[in-house]
């Protein structure tokens, strides 16, 4: 783990069904984050497209390392000399009529260094709200981490947040990232509580980049992108709308938390 304080940023969006509109927003906000000193930038889940129908993303699915979505992310990482964690994009899946909901990580040279396919697929039904990601998404199977500029970074996506065993399987992380498109209903009740729990129990920073607002397809997402420190305190948050959450990763503070309350060393299982 590096001893240097680093700056990280989460991009919050209200993505539309038109990829080019979302590309423009990402170019602008990533540029702003880099200009404010961010060395690592996280995009939200489904940032390239929030279609009018669940099946719309299938038509925009890309093969790995090809296509305009991946080209843009690699270019932004290289242009701004940042680590870019690309929220999620639809990748071509082995099953016809489905996609992989995939997070890709790019280093400051623009090289892809890690891939994570979302493992846990969301379903929810209450009143007029109904979601079932398994209809259009093939789940991933592998836990994923990478060595970032300040230590190990654990990768997770949205509904993964409800499964703490995934985060234990990541091992000792300095930072866990959670790009998401939490619904307004579930986010209002559970989002901050779950994020703070993951930070407290793993004694690490948690950076969450969310969709946040009313989308053209009628879906309303909760937003509240935030950075949480290893003591579970929210150090920065953005309620709704497009924008950035920016904050610091302080390795010395993380170590002080772990020394004063050595819960990770006390684990028995």
Where would I find the H helices in 36-119? 68-80
Region class of 213: left (phi > 0), else alpha (psi between -120 and 50), else beta = left
How many other C-beta atoms can be found within 10 angstroms of the C-beta atom of residue 142?
A: 8
* Residue 165 annotated as catalytic: no
Separation CA 141–CA 71 (nearest Å): 25
* Residue 173 annotated as catalytic: no
Torsion of CA 182, 187, 192, 197, to 10 degrees: -70
Three-state secondary-structure class, residue 71: helix
Q: What are phi and psi of 235, to 5 degrees?
A: -95, -15
Write the DSSP string, 109-162: TS-EEEEEE--SPPEEEETTEEEEGGGTB-------EEEETTEEEEE--GGGGG
Catalytic residue among 62, 118, 173, 250: 118
Catalytic residue among 62, 98, 133, 158: 158
Catalytic residue among 45, 62, 133, 240: 45
* Residue 45 annotated as catalytic: yes
In the numeric block, the tokens 């304080």 are attached to: 5
Separation CA 212–CA 222 (nearest Å): 5
Catalytic residue numbers read 45, 118, 158
């Amino acid at each position: 783990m590096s001893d240097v304080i680093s700056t990280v940023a989460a991009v919050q969006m209200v993505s539309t069904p038109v990829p080019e509109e979302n590309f423009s927003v990402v170019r602008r906000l990533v540029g702003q984050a880099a200009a404010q000193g961010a060395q690592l930038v996280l995009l939200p889940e489904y940032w390239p497209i929030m279609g009018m129908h669940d099946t719309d993303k299938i038509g925009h699915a890309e093969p790995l390392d090809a296509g305009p979505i991946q080209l843009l992310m690699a270019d932004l990482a290289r242009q701004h000399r940042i680590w870019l964690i690309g929220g999620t994009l639809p990748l071509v899946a082995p099953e016809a009529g489905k996609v992989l909901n995939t997070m890709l990580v790019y280093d400051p040279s623009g090289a892809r260094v890690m891939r994570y396919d979302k493992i846990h697929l969301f379903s929810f039904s209450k009143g007029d709200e109904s979601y079932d990601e398994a209809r259009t998404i093939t789940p991933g199977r592998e836990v994923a981490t990478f060595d970032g500029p300040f230590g190990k970074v654990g990768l997770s996506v949205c509904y993964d947040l409800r499964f703490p065993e995934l985060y234990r399987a990541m091992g000792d992380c300095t930072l866990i990232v959670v790009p998401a498109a939490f619904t307004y209903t579930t986010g209002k009740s559970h989002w901050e509580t779950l994020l703070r729990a993951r930070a407290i129990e793993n004694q690490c920073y948690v950076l969450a980049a969310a969709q946040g607002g009313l989308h053209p397809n009628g879906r309303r997402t909760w937003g509240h992108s935030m950075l949480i420190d290893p003591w579970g305190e929210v150090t920065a948050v953005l309620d709704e709308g497009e924008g950035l959450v920016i904050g610091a990763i302080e390795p010395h503070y993380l170590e002080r938390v772990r020394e004063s309350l050595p819960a990770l060393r006390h684990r028995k299982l």
